[in-house]
Chains A and B, each alone.
Chain A
Amino acid sequence: MKHYLIAGLTLLFLTNAVALSGVVYNRSGEPLFELMLSERELTVPNYWARSENSGLSLRLNWRVKGQGENKWYRDFHLSKEKFLSLGFDDIEKPAQSNWERFETEKVVYLALELNGPTYQSALNKMRQAYKNQTSLNGSTKDRDVITKAQLDNFKFKSSRLYVVDLSDDFDSLADKYSDSSMYAIVKGLVKPYRLESGYGVSVNTLLVSNLSVPLELRSQFEMLEPSYERKNKFNALISWGQRLEPWIASVELHE
């Protein structure tokens, strides 16, 4: 029994020591990136206070460059060179259907941009399309119609956080997007595809997309109404550390 005791306690303490030292290392020194996100980029679950899970996590809400209002469409078109540079094998022929070949996901570095040129460009495009449409007096096809509500939603409520680039080399992305108040380099999962029109990846998820709210900041969220009634808003400073793991540094409510 003595051997089991020593082995077990060693395993338990060593595991926790490694895990916690990773946390300490991640949060040591200056954060690599810091973005001031709002309720547009951080989703608060409704009625979380009544749930049996007393913990509160905010979910990062992001888009892909070129995504538009169709939130579920997260394809990123790439040149063949860029596609192969991510470490994928060439897909010899375009898939006729999703079931022809089941490609697997890979971890790459993603460049996130907050309220930058990508969002502004998308917003301007939408404004222009709405303006052109109203001057054409209803000749636009139904599926392309942009309503005032959709335009307002994009201006005031939709996420301004975009995945604008990806690479399997962190340093090259960090050098290219060096403004750490507008850009963050994070890890994410992508799945490759090839269509007749070319190569691309679907950006499926960020490796860490749920951010736990620490106790000292929790009281701020207790004052929020459910999202569909919400009038007040918040800003949260999100920091990314040495291991690219994020945490919520501060939260501020405002009207």
Chain B
Amino acid sequence: MDQNYNKNSAQDRIDQINAFEREVNQLDADGVLSLSAGQKESVSAHHQSLIKQLAESFDVDISHSDKQFSLGMRIASFLGALALAASVFFLFYQFWGLLGHFTQVSILVLAPVLTFIATLVIASKESTGYFSKLAALISFACFVLNLTMLGQIFNITPSDNAFLIWAAYGFLLAYACDARLLLVAAILSIQSFIAMRMGTWSGMYWLSFGERPENFFLPSILLFLVPVVISQRRFTNFEQIYRVFSLIIFFLSILVLSNVGQLSRFAGDPDFIEGVYQSLGFAFSAGVVWLGIKLHWGEVVNTGNVFFVLFLYTKMFDWWWEWMPKYLFFFLIGLVAILALVVLRRLRGNQEQRMEGVA
């Protein structure tokens, strides 16, 4: 079997095989193409062997009903993990005041260690990954509780270094268990830490990092480039998560600055600053859509589209909300949406014509 398969490509291959079988049957029924019995048997044997190998190596859905079950399991796993993580916090809060320092510290230190070991043991024995991801999230919650509660118990001065440590642990667990949720937590933590540290270097208190949204630009760009520099092929959707969350933080920062120029680190007329960031918002979101189309990054195209629309709607709100009757305002919003639909359909039509020309 090709060693370059990961979970996503394995699932794509199986979906392709199922689609192929359906199409061959349809072509046979339509009298367009009929494979001989020998050919059918040979193709079927090859496909069955491949599906068996892929199913043994990855947690893939072989049929449509498998997909539905998998979706249900993912939802249950996600909700269960969140609930268990919350229960860890509340359990400790319920009893910590009744314990001496030594007991408190012992529990706080041992909880993440033991859950971490349990996570790795489960991951090594389990092929589907649902239980190991659940254990990993609990371990992460225990570690967050570890540092937070040590800070409270001993009245330690809060520090931004905690975010760096949490990010490191989140990345470790995410890559160990192929856990997307923990990757998201790690990305948000490391972005926060970099933004906080940039804020500190410019003379402000680290917790006020949100008051200067420009602090998020550099970490967003760096994290967007991670999958370019380090291959994420072996992990499920990690590339997409890096790109999407980097773009979300980047564009949210621009969106805030385009409405509240006073938060900029640049001294100047807030209206001018807002105008600049509004222009940048439109330019960057359009640029991101172009980039996504060029490189076939669907999630990047969608994110760019969402923020382009957001910038457009906030601009229209600025222009019209105060003086225009509300029915007319929403009517115009609807017209703009229809115009966008027409433009996108035309662009798609042009794209299809170009592809036919190439063929």
Please list the residues of chain A having a beta carbon within 8 angstroms of any beta carbon in chain B. 1, 4-5, 7-9, 11-13, 15-16, 19-20, 22-23, 26, 52-57, 87, 99-102, 104-107, 187, 189, 207-208, 210-212, 214-216, 218, 243-247
Complex interface: chain B residues within 8 A of A12 (CB):
109, 112-113, 116, 143, 146, 169
Q: Which of B93, B95, B157 sits near A245, CB closer than 8 Å?
A: B157
Complex interface: chain A residues within 8 A of B143 (CB):
12
The interface stretch among B117-125, B247-255, B295-303 is B117-125
Complex interface: chain A residues within 8 A of B96 (CB):
54-55
Contact A8 B169, CB 8 Å, known A20-B105, A212-B155, A246-B155: yes
Q: A230 to nearest B CB, angstroms?
A: 21
B150 touches A19 (CB 8 A): yes
B94 at the interface (CB under 8 A from A): yes
B152 touches A212 (CB 8 A): yes
Q: B124 to nearest A CB, angstroms?
A: 6
A215 touches B97 (CB 8 A): yes
A87 touches B203 (CB 8 A): yes
Q: B216 to nearest A CB, angstroms?
A: 15
B157 touches A208 (CB 8 A): yes
A210 touches B146 (CB 8 A): no
CB-based closest 10 A-B pairs = A54-B97, A104-B204, A55-B97, A102-B262, A4-B176, A105-B205, A23-B154, A53-B93, A104-B208, A215-B100
Most buried by A among B157, B168, B175, B263: B157
Q: Which of B98, B112, B176, B260 sits near A1, CB closer than 8 Å?
A: B176
Complex interface: chain B residues within 8 A of A208 (CB):
155-157
B165 touches A11 (CB 8 A): yes
B321 at the interface (CB under 8 A from A): no
A15 touches B157 (CB 8 A): no
A243 touches B157 (CB 8 A): yes
Contact A16 B109, CB 8 Å, known A5-B117, A5-B120, A245-B156: yes
B169 touches A11 (CB 8 A): yes
A/B interface sample: 20 pairs, CB < 8 A: A4-B175, A5-B117, A9-B116, A12-B109, A22-B156, A23-B150, A23-B154, A23-B156, A26-B154, A53-B93, A54-B97, A55-B97, A100-B262, A102-B211, A104-B212, A105-B205, A106-B203, A214-B101, A215-B100, A216-B100
Residue of A nearest to B172 (CB): A8
Complex interface: chain A residues within 8 A of B203 (CB):
87, 104, 106
Please list the residues of chain B having a beta carbon within 8 angstroms of any beta carbon in chain A. 90, 93-101, 105, 108-109, 112-113, 116-117, 120, 123-124, 143, 146-147, 150, 152-158, 165, 168-169, 172-173, 175-176, 199, 203-205, 207-208, 211-212, 260, 262-263, 267, 270
Q: Which of A13, A19, A101, A107 sits near B205, CB closer than 8 Å?
A: A107
Q: How many Å lie between the Cα of A164 and that of B226 in the bound state?
A: 49
Complex interface: chain B residues within 8 A of A15 (CB):
146-147, 165
Residue of B nearest to A101 (CB): B262
A207 touches B94 (CB 8 A): no
Residue of B nearest to A100 (CB): B262
Q: Which of B94, B95, B113, B147 sits near A9, CB closer than 8 Å?
A: B113
A102 touches B263 (CB 8 A): yes
A105 touches B204 (CB 8 A): yes
Complex interface: chain B residues within 8 A of A13 (CB):
109, 113
Complex interface: chain B residues within 8 A of A243 (CB):
157
Complex interface: chain B residues within 8 A of A20 (CB):
105, 150
Q: B209 to nearest A CB, angstroms?
A: 9
